[in-house]
Amino acid sequence: MAERCYLDWNATTPLRVEAVEALQEALAVIGNPSSVHAEGRAARRLIERAREQVAELVAARPADVFFTSGGTEANMVALTPAIETAAEKRPRQRLLMSAIEHSSVRAGGRFARAAIEDVPVDAAGCIDLAALTEAVAKTPRPLVSLMLANNETGVIQPVAAAAEVAHAAGGLIHVDAVQAAGRVPCALGALGADLMTLSAHKIGGPKGVGALVRGSEDIHIADPLIRGGGQERGMRAGTENVAGIAAFGAAAAAAHSRFAAEAARLQALRDTLEQGLKAISPGLVVFGDAAARVPNTTLFALEGVKAETAVIAFDLEGVAVSSGAACSSGKVQPSHVLAAMGVSPALQRGGVRVSLGWTTTAADVERCLGAWRKLASALSKGQRGIAA
Ligand code: PLP
């Protein structure tokens, strides 16, 4: 069988070599990090080293990093009325979020449905800051949740400006940086983020581990999601996933040291891919290309081509891509992101997402283009079996 070509890095990434090494080393450490003996202290050292590495990726203090079971859990922990600051302990009444957040944010954490308000995005896929300002004006001390990069389009959100808007109203801002970390700068201070979500498996670490990072020691979550032992300083009970956390740290360090070089290379490959796709199919639409995007992501559609049809056609050619939208039992639902951008219902089901990563080469892009050329030519020959 010909080698596969993996172009679905926004779904998950392969483990980085450094993460594999850290994982193997940590698996050999038998201690419980809460134990005081030498074995326990060895496990503790691995966790604290990883805490420093993750903190460095987002220019935070290690003490402000809390490990979780992934991005979903970190979002769930962050989105609570019970976020206190040193100065203010009253619960927050409302959660404002962009209409294009990941489902783990859209679920609203511990806020009641009625307390959640969507803020629209423009046609380029960027939050409407005027609408956010208006919503904030009606909502004293809101919690705002805004992702740094969208998982479908890759569009980068104006987080620093949104943070200013939230802070001016006594609010706080949570930033889901799962798709941005390792791809664009994510310094918490520069973004004005009060809380930030990270996930290991999008940056070359293992699945099932992530972190919630605070912008300052002033921020306190008064109702941790998982209570029990005092692990993670009371923020997340349960014996730590030592090996997963150690590998997350190693992946964060590798991502941090290489992302500038990787970004330029990936953007060039992504641009070549988009130009090639448009040359093959002049009617093809690339979503979000009027805005700044993370360098590795493209989401496109061609009228008449269903996303699931395209994804299967790519897969048969050995190329792994995904539909931008949620997919349940193989059936692609209309994308809430494309709907929020005002894309026509026909195209909302057609988004095909190709996402690249550090092992992606020009040959992979060529192969992807070859698969699309084959599909497009079958379509133009009227082979309805693969057309919508
Ligand atoms: N947030 C965004 C933007 C994501 O893309 C994802 C995963 O796809 C998550 C959160 C959830 O992260 P995890 O898979 O670690 O639970």
> Does the beta carbon of 70 lie inside 6 Å of ligand 1?
yes
Q: What value does the mean pLDDT take over residues 334-352?
A: 93
Note if 186 is an active site residue.
no
Domain residue ranges of the chain, discontinuous segments joined by +: 5-13+259-386, 17-253
Check whether 388 has a pLDDT greater than 50: no
Give me 144's structure tokens.
């705002």
Per-residue pLDDT tens over the stretch 168-200? 999 999 999 999 999 999 999 999 999 999 999
Closest ligand 1 atom, residue 210 Cα: 15
CATH number of 17-253: 3.40.640.10
Distance 214 CA to ligand 1 centre (A): 18
Check whether 260 has a pLDDT greater than 90: no
Closest by CA position to 166, among listed 114, 220, 97: 97
pLDDT at 325: 63
State the pLDDT confidence band at 328, using cuts at 50, 70 and 90. Answer: low
User: What are the start-end ranges of the E strands in the chain?
Assistant: 5-6, 65-68, 83-84, 95-98, 116-119, 143-145, 172-176, 195-199, 210-214, 220-221, 285-286, 297-301, 319-320, 322-323, 327-328, 331-332, 352-355
Distance 48 CA to ligand 1 centre (A): 24
State the pLDDT confidence band at 334, using cuts at 50, 70 and 90. Answer: confident
Take atom 8 of ligand 1 and give the residue whose Cα is closest: 11
Residue 57 near residue 250, CB atoms below 8 Å: no
Tell me the CA distances in angstroms from 48 to 40, 188, 231, 371, one per residue in order: 12, 20, 13, 45
pLDDT at 386: 46
Q: Return the CATH fold of 5-13+259-386.
A: Aspartate Aminotransferase, domain 1 (3.90.1150)
pLDDT at 330: 62
> Does the beta carbon of 210 lie inside 6 Å of ligand 1?
yes
Check whether 329 has a pLDDT greater than 80: no
Distance 36 CA to ligand 1 centre (A): 34
Ordered DSSP codes for 71-131: HHHHHHHHS-TTEE-SS--SPP--EEEETT--HHHHT-TTS-GGGEEEE-B-TTS-B-HHH
Closest by CA position to 242, among listed 19, 54, 76, 27: 27
Q: What value does the mean pLDDT take over residues 113-123?
A: 97
Tell me the CA distances in angstroms from 138 to 99, 132, 169, 218, one per residue in order: 18, 10, 10, 25
pLDDT at 346: 86
Mean pLDDT, rounded, of the chain: 95
pLDDT at 46: 98
Residue with more model confidence, 302 or 2: 302
State the pLDDT confidence band at 327, using cuts at 50, 70 and 90. Answer: low
200-203-206-207 Cα dihedral, nearest 10 degrees:
60
**Residue 232 corresponds to which amino acid?**
E
Per-residue pLDDT tens over the stretch 191-250? 999 999 999 999 999 999 999 999 999 999 999 999 999 999 999 999 999 999 999 999
> Does the beta carbon of 178 lie inside 6 Å of ligand 1?
yes
| Spatial separation of the C-alpha atoms in residues 143 and 153, rounded to whole Å | 24
pLDDT at 331: 66
Check whether 164 has a pLDDT greater than 60: yes
